[in-house]
Structure 1
Amino acid sequence: MKDFYHFLKQNTRNVSFGWVMTFLSSFGQTFLISLYVPEIIKSFSLSEGSFGGIYALCTMTSSVIMLTVGHTIDHKPVKKVTALTITGAAVSCFILGVSQNHIPLLFLALIGLRLTGQGLMTHISMTVMSRYYTADRGKALSVSALGFSVGEAIFPIIISTLILWYDYEIAALVSGGILLLYLIRLKFIKLSHFDVTLDDHKPSTLSLIKDYKNLIGEKKFLIMMPASISVAFVSTSIFFYQYVFVEHKGWSVSLYASFFTAYAITRFAMSILGGYWVDKFTARKMFRIYLLPMTLGMLPLAFMNSILGALIFLILAGCSVGMSGAVTTAVIAEIYGVRKIGAIRSLFTMFMVLSTALGPFLVGLMIDAKVEFSRIILSMFAIMLFSLINVQRIKKVP
């Protein structure tokens, strides 16, 4: 780990940009938006199912838009793309704060938050780090991914406190203000060194469609895609309904909530180790095993009556989720190269974002259909197991 320390010491300023992007992406992530849900449901007189449908539709819409704009990081200055993204996120927060029973404004706010937050900010961070670094790519990506963990630790406290003291509108407006503060700071940050590897050629719409069509038709894409999105699909599905599952099992809600400390610590540690291992063993090798912990963790969650089954799952899920940030992006760079990594990664990101919309929707349908908890978990275990077996073929990909 000495190498990691020396890398961080010498590259703090560069990797801090990637860290801030993932940190600020929290404003568009499900874990933070979910804090607004109870108040939005009351304000707009919606049912849980209705809001779930709206959220899924907005997420799917943002994933499609992501595919059309993700390539800009390949040929536009990083600072310009970042500024536009931060501006879009701030405006989306402000729209949410003034939506006041106007459903079209709610749609617009959620689409903007999902596009800029979960989509573009994460995309910018991972693309820039993987393109700028080669030998230390794993370390750079792992440090950047730590922004997710810190955001999960800090922002829920801030936003939930603002909602409790005031209302969700004030919380959304304050969120927009935080983003504008970073936009001001961005003006004084030098990012031009990240532009030296840009592709000067701006692709046409037809060439992009052709490239995406060719990518989807390749064997390596069919190997990589399930493994790239399965962690997001399963973790979002389970965490979205986690307290429904906890009540179903008769477990203590407060004790389960306390277990998230173990999840956070594990995810934080594995974010660092995952990047270190990518540089030591290659992303291709790590890509073949990073799904294993979470896959195994779903078995005790499904079959153990004791709440210890949840603790085991959360620790093992933290391992896979922690490694995923560095591993999935690094393997794309290793296999496809970095010349068009923005466009290529945007395709993977689109499917990832889409999976986070479909996962909770499908699980919600199973819950409504009174499917047993263990069968729901086992169905997701089967998805993880298939992805794990399928990804082993990547060792034969040139």
Structure 2
Amino acid sequence: MKDFYLFLKRNARQVSFGWVLTFLSSFGQTFLISLYVPEILKAFSLSEGTFGGIYAICTIVSSVIMLTIGHSIDHKPVKTVTTITVIGAAVSCFVLGISHYHIALLFLALIGLRLTGQGWMTHISMTVMSRYYDTDRGKALSVSALGYSIGEAFFPIVISTLILWYDYEVAAIASGVFLLLYLVRLYFVKLTHFDPKKKENKDISSKAIVRDYLKILSEKKFYTMIPASIVVAFTSTSFFFYQYVFVEDKGWSVSLYASFFTAYAITRFVMTLMSGLWVDRFTARRMFRIYLLPMTIGLLPLAFMDGITGALIFLILAGCSVGASGSVTTAVIAELYGVEKLGVVRSLYTMLVVLSTALGPFLVGLLLDADVDFRWIILGLFFMTTASLLNAQRIKNVP
């Protein structure tokens, strides 16, 4: 940990930018939006399935938009892009706060939150940190990724309290105000050292962007990298979205299961830090070949153990893979593609991650509606992660 101490001593101001963005991305993450769901269902008289469909549609739309604008971080000032993103997130929160007037506002709010939160803020943070650092890239990415864990610990308490004391509209508007306060702070922060190292910041033509995407999609290394990169998001979101349905199906204690999240949070926090050190020491390519292994193994006791201990084992092992994913996947993209057009590559990657977080819960929901047994659903996720893990081994042959 001495390496981390020395790194933070020299770079605390720079990496704090990445950390804050992943922290604020919580406003567009599923774990926080899910707190609004019970009140939204009441306000619009929606069923869980209907809202799940709305959420999937909004997430897919946001992922497509992300693909069209994600490249801008490669040729626009970081401060400008970040300011627009934070304003968009704040406006989306305000729209959610008045969404009870019409369901169309709910669609706009969810699209905006998914785009700016899970999509853009994460994209900016990871792209900028990966581009700015080279030898210390793993440590920079892991420190930035800690924002996710802190956000998961902090915001649910605040938002659920506001919803309990007032209503979801007040909680959403308060979230928008919080984001605007950060915007005031951002005004006084100098970020020119993060800007792309180019003499001009002119607009890039649509044809050039399309050519970049087609080139990426034509290369074998993309298909070596992408399955193992997005399967963690697909698997974790699919499970966590319906976790209490699974808990009830197993007949486990809800309160005891909830307490197990402490182990998950601790494991994820530790692995977020350690993965950064390991990326710098062993390279991202080597870490990429094994980081998915803990979650893959953890799915087996979850599927076959009747006792709640199976859930604890899964949460601990899933925390290992989820904690390592942010640093490992972004660093491996930088190693494979370089940093000049990192925004282009990561925007395609981010679109697929966001898309997977929409399709995962949707597909699992269909299986649950079809009365497919819990064990078979988890085994399906196990075979998917296993296939992705085996495919990831091909990265050692990528030039």
- TM-score > 0.5 by shorter chain: yes
Find the counterpart in structure 2 of residue 325 from structure 1.
326
- Counterpart in 1 of 2:177? 177
Contact 1:74/1:198 (8 A) holds in 2: no
1:313 aligns with 2:314: yes
User: Does the alignment pair 1:209 with 2:196?
Assistant: no
**CA shift for structure 1 position 99:** 1.2
CA shift for structure 1 position 198: 4.8
Are residue 48 (structure 1) and residue 63 (structure 2) matched? no
Output the CA distance in 2 between the equivalents of 1:127 and 1:199.
Answer: 19
Are 2:142 and 1:146 aligned? no
Q: Partner residue of 1:127?
A: 127
Distance 1:344 1:293 in 2: 27
Matches within 5 A, 1:373-392: 373-392=374-393
State the SS of the aligned residue for 1:70.
Answer: helix
1:69 aligned partner, one-letter code: I
RMSD: 0.8
CA distance in 1, matches of 2:137, 2:78: 18
Partner of residue 30, structure 1: 30
Aligned-partner SS, 2:100: coil
Q: Could you tell me whether the CA contact under 8 Å between 1:266 and 1:319 is conserved in 2?
A: yes
The 1:117–1:3 alpha-carbon spacing in structure 2 relative to 1, beyond 3 Å, is same
- Tell me which residue corresponds to 1:393: 394
> What residue number does 2:168 align with?
168
SS at match of 1:289: coil
Deviations 1:360-379 (A, max 9, x none): 00000000000000000000
Deviations 1:195-216 (A, max 9, x none): 1535846421111112111211
Partner of 1:279: 280
Confirm or deny: 8 A CA contact 1:86 1:179 kept in the other structure.
yes
Give SS of 1:330's match.
Answer: helix
Distance 2:198 2:364 in 1: 41
TM-score by length of 2: 0.99
Give the letter aligned to residue 300 of structure 2.
Answer: L
What residue number does 1:98 align with?
A: 98
Other structure's SS at 1:100 match? helix
Q: Deviations over 1:181-202 (max 9, x none)?
A: 0000000111111115358464
CA deviation map 1:208-248 (0-9, x unaligned): 11211121121101111101100000000000000000000
Letter in 2 for 1:14: Q
Alignment deviations for residues 330-361 of structure 1 (CA, whole Å, 9 cap, x no partner): 00000100000011100000000000000000
Question: How many angstroms apart in 1 are the aligned matches of 2:107 and 2:178?
Answer: 22
Who is 2:350 aligned against?
A: 349
After the TM superposition, which residues 74-93 of structure 1 pair with which residues of structure 2 at under 5 Å, given as runs? 74-93=74-93
C-alpha separation in 1, matches of 2:18 and 2:189 = 13
One-letter code aligned to 1:153: A
How many Å separate the matches in 2 of 1:196 and 1:360?
37
Using the alignment, how far apart are the partners of 1:101 and 1:61 within structure 2? 22
Letter in 2 for 1:144: S
Gaps of 5+ in 1: none
Secondary structure of the 1:173 match is helix
CA distance in 2, matches of 1:341, 1:202: 16
Aligned pairs, number: 398
The residue aligned with 2:266 is 265
- Relative to structure 1, the CA distance from residue 216 to residue 240 in structure 2 (aligned partners, 3 Å threshold; closer, same or farther) is same
For residues 199 and 209 of structure 1, do their structure 2 counterparts lie closer, same or farther at Cα, with a shift above 3 Å needed?
farther
Are the equivalent residues in 1 in contact too, given 2:76–2:196 (CA < 8 A)? Answer: no
Q: Which residue of 1 aligns with 2:67?
A: 67
Question: What 5-or-longer segments of structure 2 have no aligned partner?
Answer: none
Tell me by how many angstroms 1:100 deviates: 1.3
Q: Distance in 2 between matches of 1:186 and 1:110?
A: 24
2: CA distance, partners of 1:131 / 1:273: 20
Distance (whole Å) between structure 1 residues aligned to residue 266 and residue 7 of structure 2: 22
Q: Contact between 2:271 and 2:324, CA under 8 Å: does it hold in 1?
A: yes
Task: Give the secondary-structure state (helix, strand or coil) at the position aligned to 2:307.
Answer: coil
CA distance in 1, matches of 2:84, 2:93: 14
What SS does the corresponding residue of 1:370 show, helix, strand or coil?
coil
CA contact (8 A) 2:275 2:328 kept: yes
Distance in 1, matches of 2:255 and 2:213, equals 46
Assess if the C-alpha contact under 8 Å between 1:126 and 1:329 holds in 2. yes
TM-score, normalization by structure 1: 0.99
Instruction: Tell me which residue corresponds to 2:295.
Output: 294
